[in-house]
Chains A and B, each alone.
Chain A
């Protein structure tokens, strides 16, 4: 019978609407949300207004037009070609590239070291376990700026001067002006050689796939990875020899030679870059290590025992049981650590590395535009962090359990 139900409903609605406005939960919710939004917008508006009014009062120019002017500042060891004739904006980009170069390498190394530390902390070997426990305790409880200062002034700059550089086979020279190694100088045939290598990579991919299929189908070990690598090596070496026979090899060795107080030629890692990457890596690896340890420990014991009971080796237990499950727990907080590392890279000024912040300070000194430059820095760090998070989140999605 529909009629009485409708009547019931209407009376219920009427009761509902008879609640006074100030006690109506929907109204209250809407009002508090609007009030909170207004408060935030008002606060931002107040701060911006404060900035504009004060800038006006002191005759400070808030525009970004100066970015196209000649930078006229010196940036040594720029990762991309730079001269003082370039614009302020280009100088800023050099700083961005330097920050990216340090953070990306730092992220890769911190991840590797962090996983090692996390696994080592669970080792049954008493000594290994304790050594890493002490490492984490010591590094994690010291501010990053102190670590960086110590790495740079206490370790890297205490290396011998260039005249007395440590000479390792290679040659590799270790000195307080950086690490110098032999390096290949690309010649005209370098491009051709790269194409040959690329072809070998593509061929290797297909060979690997075919061999894997065969392995799955027949159960016979077919060594797909080994075969692909062998193909790549053969392609690379054969291409090199062919090109060298036809004229010049794709790469000519460039050997660092001491001239005056500096080495010329070869490849160089500056002490500043080294110290910054080292202190960030060592610091962030302690956090990643603890995340990894926690994640591994969260996997139920029964699963490990079951895996061993069916005869999996310890490596296989890690590879097929532990890591796939632990990754789900590891990835989200680790992304947070990557962002921490990125922000920490602004301590570059302590070790004399020309990152975004150092370059910006010089731009501000020269142009007088501090507010626009700080806005630019904030936007750039936000963008870098957002990109790292995005990549991390995409990866995270791929390792999550697909639930139905």
Chain B
């Protein structure tokens, strides 16, 4: 005899089994953690990018109190990818010191780190997933002309004093440099603003910093002019810079990585901030149409972003070359937004650089 209680129990068991099966199915294709970050960002209505705001060109705060620079532009691009456009409210630069990076990454409070970040095996394993390299630097040296140090001659650093940031990998690279060249020097460690002040006051003869930061560093000195210093063209070791997301969410990692590909592919295909709308509507190129999402998708639905996500991104920040030009060019230098440097390895592979990303197809 069937009674309602039994029917109910069977129905319940069936539901639970079905739910477990569905969950198992989902687990099979979506590993644990998949999609949590995007959900969090959408709920918060804001993407949090960790950066240090004391490096003109890479990331600083302008006279209007707005975050500017290469890092913040990437943050805006991410916001445009997630929310359709970047407004004042849907992206935020969380200012951190370089020494705070491991703790910030391990706490998982930050969505993406756009700080000038050297990619090493150790950090990949301990901090989070790095996406593609956006800048190829090395450990750069700035030496004062009074010190008697000969630029690009590592031996002349022997017996002198250097300054660098506390809690950076430069502290280890300095030790490596000493053993490689058989020299010893004194090394004073400060927070990043302290390095500038101490060098300015003559506490040290040279500064170790990312070779990309050397140009803006000498411009921020207040008690001397850039001509009083030598910026070395030799660099020590490899110092590849890349954006970084917390471990454990493949969807978020893919999304952040795709934004980087879109920026580089857009430059390759000649899609710029000015012509993107026009290209979207009129370009006969299939590659352009695919990139901009007018024809077919490469997985936007799975990343839960708009098909024309590339249009939103390029409209917001331009392509990779435009971002570089904005901060590393003669115009940027004139405007006080950065400084001029040759576009070297971060040029497109078509022009002899190393920027070579897969197609958005």
Question: How far is it, in angstroms, between the C-alpha of A371 and the C-alpha of B106 when the chains are bound?
Answer: 10
B197 at interface, CB cutoff 8 A: yes
Distance between A132 CB and nearest chain B CB, rounded to angstroms: 31
How far is A59 from B32 in the complex, measured between Cα atoms in Å?
A: 13
Quick one: closest A residue to B122, CB to CB? A368
Minimum CB–CB distance for A257 against chain B, Å:
12
B159 within 8 A of A: yes
Supply 4 further A-B pairs (C-beta < 8 A) apart from A157-B197, A259-B159. Answer: A60-B106, A84-B179, A176-B203, A366-B122
Asked if B186 is at the interface (CB within 8 A of a chain A CB), the reply is: yes
Which stretch, B51-59, B187-195, B224-232, touches the partner chain A? B187-195
In the complex the two chains form, what is the Cα distance from A222 to B268 in whole Å? 97
B171 touches A74 (CB 8 A): yes
Q: A370–B161 Cα gap in the complex (Å)?
A: 29
Indicate whether A370 sits within 8 Å of B102 (C-beta atoms), given known contacts A262-B160, A358-B166.
yes
B152 on the A face (CB < 8 A)? no
Chain A contacts of B191 at CB under 8 A? 349-350
Partner of B188, one of A260, A262, A272, A366: A272
Choice from B103, B198, B201 contacting A370 with Cβ under 8 Å:
B103
CB distance from B162 to the nearest CB of A (A): 9
Nearest CB in chain A: distance from B111 CB, A: 15
CB distance from B195 to the nearest CB of A (A): 9
14 CB contacts below 8 A, A to B, read: A54-B108, A57-B248, A59-B247, A59-B248, A73-B171, A73-B172, A74-B174, A261-B146, A261-B205, A262-B186, A358-B189, A361-B166, A365-B172, A368-B102
- Cα(A84)–Cα(B167), bound, Å: 15
Question: Is A366 touching B202 in the complex (CB atoms < 8 A)?
Answer: no
Q: Which 8 A-B pairs have the closest CB atoms?
A: A368-B126, A157-B201, A361-B167, A84-B175, A74-B175, A161-B202, A361-B99, A76-B186
Q: Which B residues lie within 8 Å of A316 (CB)?
A: none
Enumerate B240-266 residues with CB–CB distance to A below 8 Å: 246-248
Chain B: number of interface residues, binned into ranges: 35 or more
B168 at the A interface (CB under 8 A): yes
Closest approach, in angstroms, between the C-beta of B44 and any C-beta of chain A?
A: 19
Complex Cα–Cα for A4 and B99 (A): 80
Closest A residue by C-beta to B98:
A365
Q: Which residues of A contact B296 (CB under 8 A)?
A: none
Query: Once the chains bind, are B198 and A58 in contact (CB under 8 Å)?
Result: no
Q: Does A364 contact B (CB under 8 A)?
A: yes
Interface residues of B in 176-232 (CB under 8 A from A): 176, 178-179, 186-191, 194, 197-198, 201-203, 205
Q: Are B175 and A365 in contact (CB under 8 A)?
A: no
Partner of A261, one of B122, B160, B194, B198: B160
**How many angstroms from the CA of A59 to the CA of B108 in the assembled complex?**
12
Complex interface bits, B126-149 against A, C-beta within 8 A gives 1, otherwise 0 = 110000000000000000001110
B203 touches A177 (CB 8 A): yes
On whether A177 and B166 interact (CB within 8 A), knowing A352-B189, A368-B126, A370-B102, the answer reads no
Does B5 interact with chain A (Cβ within 8 Å)?
no
In the assembled complex, which residues on chain B have CB atoms less than 8 Å from the CB atom of A68? none
Q: For the complex formed, measure the closest distance between the CB of A335 and the CB atoms of chain B, giving whole angstroms.
A: 31
A60 vs B188: C-alpha distance when bound (angstroms) = 30
Instruction: Report B104-125 CB contacts with A as 1/0, cut-off 8 Å.
Output: 0010100000000000001101
Minimum C-beta distance from B93 to chain A (A)? 22
Q: Are A58 and B186 neighbours in the complex by a CB distance under 8 Å?
A: no
A160: nearest chain-B partner, CB-CB = B202
Does A10 lie at the interface of the complex (its beta carbon under 8 Å from any beta carbon of B)?
no
Q: With the chains together, A72 CA to B174 CA distance in Å?
A: 9
Q: Is the CB of A157 within 8 A of B166?
A: no
Q: Closest CB of chain A to B122's CB: distance in Å?
A: 7
A261 touches B161 (CB 8 A): yes
Indicate whether A77 reaches chain B with its CB closer than 8 angstroms: yes
A residues less than 8 Å from B102 (CB atoms)? 364-365, 368, 370
Q: Does A271 contact B (CB under 8 A)?
A: yes
Given contacts A157-B201, A358-B189, A370-B106, contact A74 B127 (CB under 8 A): no
**CB-nearest residue of chain B relative to A54?**
B108
B172-A366 in contact (CB<8A)? yes
In the complex, A97 Cα to B172 Cα: how many Å? 21
How far in angstroms is the closest Cβ of chain A from B252? 14
Residues of A within 8 A of B122 (CB): 366, 368
A76, A259, A261, A361: which contacts B187 (Cβ < 8 A)?
A: A76
Interface residue? B169 (CB, 8 A):
yes
In contact, A364 and B247 (Cβ under 8 angstroms)? no
Minimum C-beta distance from B245 to chain A (A): 12
A354 within 8 A of B: yes
Q: Which residue of B lies closest to A157 (CB)?
A: B201
Residues of A with C-beta under 8 A to B188:
76, 272, 352
Given A271-B203, A352-B188, A352-B194, does the pair A364, B103 have CB atoms closer than 8 Å? yes
Q: Are B201 and A362 in contact (CB under 8 A)?
A: no
Residue of A at shortest CB range from B173? A74
Given A58-B106, A84-B175, A366-B172, do A260 and B148 touch, yes or no (CB 8 Å)?
yes
**Contact (Cβ within 8 A) A368 B190:** no
Q: Are B125 and A153 in contact (CB under 8 A)?
A: no
In the bound complex, CA of A363 to CA of B198 (Å): 23
**Closest-CB distance, B101 to chain A (whole angstroms):** 8
**A130 interface residue, CB < 8 Å from B?**
no
Contacts of A308 in B (CB 8 A): none
Question: B160 and A260: CB pair below 8 A?
Answer: yes
Closest B residue by C-beta to A55: B106
Q: Are B161 and A262 in contact (CB under 8 A)?
A: yes
Cβ contact within 8 Å between B160 and A153:
no
Complex Cα distance A177/B203, Å? 6
| A76→B191 CA distance, assembly (Å) | 16
CB distance from A4 to the nearest CB of B (A): 69
A158 contacts B by Cβ under 8 Å: yes
CB within 8 Å for A349 and B171 given contacts A74-B178, A77-B186, A153-B197: no
CA distance A58 to B166 in the complex (A): 25
CA distance A57 to B317 in the complex (A): 35
